[in-house]
Homo-oligomer: A and B are copies of this chain.
């Protein structure tokens, strides 16, 4: 495990955390990324930034912000990955892009984690080939934080879009990785994990989900989580579990459905409050309460899909992120690097793999199973 170059990068007597940030590729341009840097650096005195992108564009933006002096190192990268670029193209010809350089800083050990608001497919492809998968991982996953009724106000859900398929052994790996994320990101020592299905009864749903449910029950102790069985869509924002596990197709649909529904409700509310004089006066009196409400349901607070299962932490910020969203994504990358997320995942996977060597849990020829066993010998 010592070979994983993912431990927080420290320099000098006081430990400092360096985060690698892609300045290009977001819908709102590099000025918004620089504004996000200002917010995140002000709050964290031990944070440094490696910023990748077009020097001619970025240098003047950085010089205008005195707070960034001595904290941001600019690395010129001439190429930009656009939202239209196909992942395969970027994998072959993307070496000169800011996205590639952002990931390579984590690979080289110059930074502890990476943040980009560029093209998700390309970012996952570049992360896979440059960072590579953790020992034993079959499919990396993208995890998101979902506003919930739990004390920490968020649940972890994965996969929300790395891969449209997941077999039972992938779902077990998602449970393990999601638990490590909840442990490091939300400080829940032994998270409760639910498997997303169309009902909570054991006979419901697809056959592969029943198999996955049994596998999760068997491996929960070794994986460091509590097995809660099946959950439904209504449990994603609920308080009955901390981590929701599903395939990337279902997870992506659920995430976008939830976002779309919350947006519609907020629109309707705004329409109501501007529908007449009394309503407007009422809204004015309730303004501080409404602002608190807005802040609690603000999707930017939970900005940042985290790529799990790689040799390093990558946070994908929303393509349309503003400065607040980018600062939240950098804050998340900082917290996950500081708490050693990658090491936490590797340790949990190793625990399952060690048990797998005594009594094989995976079917022979199962690539995930073979990978897990191979991983423990590294």
Cβ A149 vs Cβ B264 within 8 A: yes
Of chain B, the residue at the smallest CB distance from A277 is B285
Cβ B250 vs Cβ A233 within 8 A: no
Cβ A272 vs Cβ B253 within 8 A: no
Minimum Cβ distance to chain B for residue A240 (Å): 11
Residue A64 is within 8 A (CB to CB) of chain B in the complex: no
Number of A residues with CB within 8 Å of any CB on chain B: 62
Interface mask (A220-240 → B, CB under 8 Å = 1, otherwise 0): 000000000000111111100
Chain A 271-313 residues near chain B, CB threshold 8 A = 271-273, 275-276, 278-279, 281-290, 292-293, 296-297
Residue A259 is within 8 A (CB to CB) of chain B in the complex: yes
Residue A61 is within 8 A (CB to CB) of chain B in the complex: no
Cβ B252 vs Cβ A233 within 8 A: yes
Cα separation A219 to B279 with both chains bound (whole Å) = 49
Interface mask (A234-252 → B, CB under 8 Å = 1, otherwise 0): 1111100000001011101
Cβ A292 vs Cβ B264 within 8 A: no
- The count of identical subunits is 2
Of chain B, the residue at the smallest CB distance from A280 is B286
Of chain B, the residue at the smallest CB distance from A236 is B257
Cα separation A254 to B232 with both chains bound (whole Å) = 10
Residue A198 is within 8 A (CB to CB) of chain B in the complex: yes
Minimum Cβ distance to chain B for residue A297 (Å): 6
**7 A-B interface contacts by CB (under 8 A):** A232-B256, A233-B254, A233-B258, A234-B257, A257-B257, A257-B258, A261-B262
Interface residues of A (CB under 8 A from B): 86, 147-149, 161, 164-165, 196, 198, 203, 205-206, 232-238, 246, 248-250, 252-269, 271-273, 275-276, 278-279, 281-290, 292-293, 296-297
Apart from the given pairs A232-B256, A261-B261, 11 other A-B contacts in the complex at a CB distance below 8 Å = A235-B260, A237-B261, A237-B264, A258-B258, A265-B265, A268-B293, A268-B297, A272-B293, A272-B296, A278-B289, A283-B286
